[in-house]
Structure 1
Amino acid sequence: MAARKRGPSAAKPAAMMAEETKKSDEKAISPSLEDPSIKPSKIGQVLSVSVVFFGAFFYLAFYHYKIEKELRWSIFANSVLSFVGFGVTLVLIPVASKYVLRRNLFGYDINKKGTAQGSIKVPESLGIVVGIVFLVLAILFQYANFTSDSIWLVEYNAALASICFMVLLGFVDDVLDVPWRVKLVLPSFAALPLLMAYAGHTTIIVPKPLIPYVGIDVLDLGWVYKLYMGLLAVFCTNSINIHAGINGLEAGQTAVIAAAILIHNIMQIGASSDPEYKQAHAFSIYLAQPLLTTTLGLLCYNWYPSSVFVGDTYTYFAGMAMAVIGILAHFSETLLIFFLPQVLNFLASCPQLFGFIKCPRHRLPRFDPQTGLLTGTKDGTLVNIFLRLFGRCSEQSLCIRLLLFQALCCLFCFVLRYFLTGWYK
């Protein structure tokens, strides 16, 4: 649900279509000088923030906590591979941009309508690059880290199958423009490989204040737990997709949550003495690191003013990846708190999503080309709610505010876990 208007795709006579196809093929053979130059103009800002985060992460992983040498080496190898993925993403996005433009996969930035930037064709669906690079990295790491008899191998492959399925369905959505009612159920199909291969426990720890009333401290939910996992995958995927509409928001919120996931996992590994528990959180790190670095590569192009759009391909991919990470590492409650802005956005969107209130195609703020400021509308999105609460502002300032709120919610999760540990569970 990005802030863009797609290029025309109306039906045309067969002769005209054949002529356009011929021209397109000629263009593919001989690159056109009209193709815009796509450059990672925000790489400096992205790298400066990334250095601070990874400095803190590596300090915790390799100095603060006493982690086993073998596990520490696996995390380091995954980090190196992830940084390679960052560079590959930077290189491939301009290449892919030319190809999607030639196939008329582009959009116009609605939040810049009435300005020169609003008339530029912006390449669409560049999330396909991130998805492919992520999957290649994950498969290469699997070869280097997991043995054929590893108990985690089946679930790791099932996780990759679900993510790959979601990348495919997301790209189909970008090309075919699938209706909303269909979008809501697509993640259910993508989650099937994970649900069918899941061999972990289906129990939950009953909160200590409730034990006197329930009578047990561990409750086995059986098939209900798998239903919950499927619903979590549907929520995470669609929540990223609807909390969107301004440059950098989709990739930015994913980067913040992925960073919080990494910190959470390394803290849990450092505080535990259970080998299986540690391996579960290491499993999460192995997927979260390449997700973060490839997303940062995309953010170098997608930050304001965007030179590429991520498309539904990316939002579906990112949502499914984080759902898989939370499910298989068994911290779905913590993941939902990390997703607190997305939960609030979903609750505010429900009246429109379910047809109780008229829902326009683009629930975006109003843009004033004279001042360059955005004004909130009555649509139920967090983007518009922030504008109504805090007043008009530029698109970049609004995105920064929303990402700061995302970071504060993640910080709130860490504080909440600290105070509730030993009392709640």
Structure 2
Amino acid sequence: MAAGGSPHSSATALSRTETLSLVSLSGASLAILANTFHGDGEPLIASLALSLIAFSLCYAMIRWLGPTFMKAGFRGRDLSKLSGGEIPECMGAVCAAVYLITVIVFIPFPFYKDIVAATSGGGNRDVVVEIQYANEGRFLHRFPHNKLASYLGAIISLQTIALLGIGDDLFDIRWRHKWWIPGLASIPLLVVYFVDFDVTSIVIPLQLQPYLGQLFDLGFLYYVYMACVAMFCPQSINMLAGINGIEVSQCIVVSLLIAFNDCLYLFTPYPHPATDSHLFSLYFLLPWIGVSCALLHHNWYPAKVFVGDTYCYFSGMVFAVVGILGHFSKTLGLLLVPQLFN
């Protein structure tokens, strides 16, 4: 090692191949992102491009921040190895930070058409706007505030659960104290659901419809059910753990299955009423798949980092967010059956 060099420099530095690959991937993604503004914003393409950028950023930051986390006390010994020193822990916090930055940067893209339409003249200087409309300013009553509220409510819930995960990694909170905290994080989701949707009926299976009818209204209990979903999802990911890569790999599998389910509603010969809900789901899932793939590379056996409780809680809340606001909580429950049995 060269004089004055850090003992961690070789472990944290990206190789030439990794650097070129990440820079090329990020450059191509930025070009795609810039091109989306030439049309109507193309939010799904923009989300995919931002997800690739999130992968590159998360991949590099996990490598760079490892020694910093170890100095702060976030380290642990891998019991899956016969010998070896301590490795960084709580790297799920890096994924959560990159993910939150990504979804915040993405906010203008799904509303690009609405933002342009809300400006006087739709952004076209050749359009003459009558004086009474010019005095009123922008046509904000046409803006989909309900969709923006859903998006921001989801971000608030995710930020809250990130604080819980980091707090658990710091203080090792007892189960009897932390199991109900995701329920508090779900309050923004439930409020948005009540204001925007407020459907509390469930579809009865065909075999029982002659006796109970087609729909059964749960009323207030439906919100209790959704709060239970929000409490179960973060804990379920944390239960199935202990082997290198198992937390991240199960989350990637569930994310891909939910994304596949979303695509079934998007690529149809006719417009589906649930298209917007499943687009909303994809906007939150694609960046999470990106950062999770970056973390999986470092957490796969033999693990170079540990994910920590932050990743488990945050990933579970991502699933709860898309399941509740995407209106497919029963499908989500089906995908989490292995965690339920565990």
Per the normalisation by structure 1, the TM-score is 0.63
* 1:106-161 deviation line (CA, Å, top 9, x unaligned): 0011222xx222xx111010001111111111111112222472231111111111
* 1:42-74 deviation line (CA, Å, top 9, x unaligned): x99xx9xxxxxxxxxxxxxxxxxxxxx969x32
Alignment map for 1:293-332 (pairs within 5 Å) = 293-332=290-329
Work out which of the residue numbers 259, 266, 271 in structure 2 matches 1:269.
266
Number of the residue aligned with 1:103: 72
Provide the secondary structure at the position in 1 that maps to 2:267: helix
Q: Report if the CA contact (8 A) 1:82-1:137 is conserved.
A: yes
Provide the secondary structure at the position in 1 that maps to 2:306: coil
Alignment CA distance shift 1:225-1:186 (3 Å):
same
Q: Are positions 1:289 and 2:275 aligned together?
A: no
Alignment CA distance shift 1:271-1:87 (3 Å):
same
**Count of residue pairs brought into register by the alignment:** 286
* One-letter amino acid of the structure 2 residue matched with residue 208 of structure 1: L
Deviation at 1:31, TM superposition (A): 8.3
Number of the residue aligned with 1:144: 109
Deviation at 1:273, TM superposition (A): 4.0
Q: Are positions 1:175 and 2:170 aligned together?
A: yes
Work out which of the residue numbers 243, 250, 253 in structure 2 matches 1:253.
250
Find the aligned partners of 1:271 and 1:231 in 2 and give their Cα distance. 33
Alignment CA distance shift 1:190-1:160 (3 Å):
same
* 1:247-279 deviation line (CA, Å, top 9, x unaligned): 000011000110111111001222474554100
Q: Are positions 1:129 and 2:103 aligned together?
A: no
Provide the secondary structure at the position in 2 that maps to 1:285: helix
Runs of 4+ in 1 over 6 A off after TM superposition: none
Work out which of the residue numbers 185, 188, 191 in structure 1 matches 2:183.
188
Q: Report if the CA contact (8 A) 1:272-1:278 is conserved.
A: no
Find the aligned partners of 2:322 and 2:5 in 1 and give their Cα distance. 40
Work out which of the residue numbers 57, 62, 70 in structure 2 matches 1:93.
62
Find the aligned partners of 1:40 and 1:240 in 2 and give their Cα distance. 30
Q: Report if the CA contact (8 A) 2:8-2:67 is conserved.
A: no
Q: Report if the CA contact (8 A) 2:234-2:314 is conserved.
A: yes
Number of the residue aligned with 1:206: 204
Find the aligned partners of 1:36 and 1:228 in 2 and give their Cα distance. 50
Deviation at 1:328, TM superposition (A): 1.1
Number of the residue aligned with 1:37: 11
Q: Report if the CA contact (8 A) 1:39-1:301 is conserved.
A: no
Find the aligned partners of 1:90 and 1:289 in 2 and give their Cα distance. 16
Find the aligned partners of 1:272 and 1:195 in 2 and give their Cα distance. 33
Deviation at 1:184, TM superposition (A): 1.2
Q: Report if the CA contact (8 A) 2:43-2:109 is conserved.
A: no
Q: Report if the CA contact (8 A) 1:204-1:221 is conserved.
A: yes
Deviation at 1:33, TM superposition (A): 2.4
Q: Report if the CA contact (8 A) 1:123-1:307 is conserved.
A: yes
Q: Unaligned stretches of 5+ in structure 1?
A: 1-29, 48-68, 346-425
* One-letter amino acid of the structure 1 residue matched with residue 78 of structure 2: D
* 1:380-403 deviation line (CA, Å, top 9, x unaligned): xxxxxxxxxxxxxxxxxxxxxxxx
Q: Report if the CA contact (8 A) 1:236-1:322 is conserved.
A: yes
Deviation at 1:32, TM superposition (A): 4.4
Alignment CA distance shift 1:244-1:289 (3 Å):
same
Find the aligned partners of 1:280 and 1:34 in 2 and give their Cα distance. 46
Deviation at 1:40, TM superposition (A): 8.2
Per the normalisation by structure 2, the TM-score is 0.78
Find the aligned partners of 2:99 and 2:46 in 1 and give their Cα distance. 15
Quote the sequence identity (%).
35
Find the aligned partners of 2:8 and 2:60 in 1 and give their Cα distance. 20
Number of the residue aligned with 1:280: 277
Find the aligned partners of 2:13 and 2:216 in 1 and give their Cα distance. 53
Number of the residue aligned with 2:225: 228
Alignment map for 1:52-67 (pairs within 5 Å) = none
Q: Are positions 1:116 and 2:111 aligned together?
A: no
Q: Report if the CA contact (8 A) 2:14-2:60 is conserved.
A: no
Number of the residue aligned with 2:239: 242
